Amino acid sequence: MIRPFIRFVAVAVMAALAGACAGGSTLPALPALPDLPPNEPLRASGRVTDVYTRIARGSSACWFGADGALKGSYIFHAEVDPPSKGEVAEIAIHEIDRTQPSPWGKRVFRVQLVPVDGATSIAVDNLAMDEEIARRMRADLFQWIDGKAACTTKEAPGLTAAATGSPARQQPATSPKQPAASPGRAL
């Protein structure tokens, strides 16, 4: 009595599976994976301080050089721990906010370097930079890490403060200083 019931259930399950495979049931489509920027390794050979040095030199020459695309609108800031404290490094690009006493505005781009098994793990985050400029910055960054010269941000057509996503932040309006009048004398 139990065997015929088990056979009936097995046949019913197989029929349901065959029907699903034949297109009787549709599954939702999986989302497409985002395109990764070209030449973006997750790890680089070498110590964190060596990788950081290559990035700092490249960004000083390219992004913040004499005709750098980010010069005048952004600030490069980095913190690098010594090997005795873990040798973790973080590079942050801040927009300049001239309306504040300290010109550091919000953080718009970040690179984190962490030692992993004798290599350096790299994480790049675009926090608020224009996506096209951030893509070019990532491309430059990974070329520098590989020891190659690159500066694709200079090749961006019409790169201005507006194109980089930097809001127009002006110096606070100040009036020209008037000479102080001496007490008791009219000018």
**pLDDT one-digit tens code per residue, 156-180:** 655 544 444 444 344 444 434 444 4
Q: What pLDDT does residue 67 have?
A: 87
CA pair distance 2, 113, nearest whole angstrom? 64
- Check if the beta carbon of residue 43 is closer than 8 Å to that of residue 120: yes
CA pair distance 17, 10, nearest whole angstrom? 11
Q: How high is the mean pLDDT of the chain?
A: 77
Residue % of the chain over a pLDDT of 70? 61
**Tens of pLDDT, residues 63-115:** 999 889 999 999 999 999 998 999 999 999 999 999 988 888 999 999 999 99
User: What strands, in cross-sheet order, belong to the sheet with 89-96?
Assistant: 43-45, 119-126, 104-116, 89-96, 74-80
**Residue matched to tokens 């019409």:** 158
Give 159's contacts (C-beta < 8 A, 6+ positions apart): 69, 133, 153
- Residue 139 pLDDT exceeds 70: yes
Q: What pLDDT does residue 103 have?
A: 86
Pick from 131, 119, 63: nearest CA to 91: 63
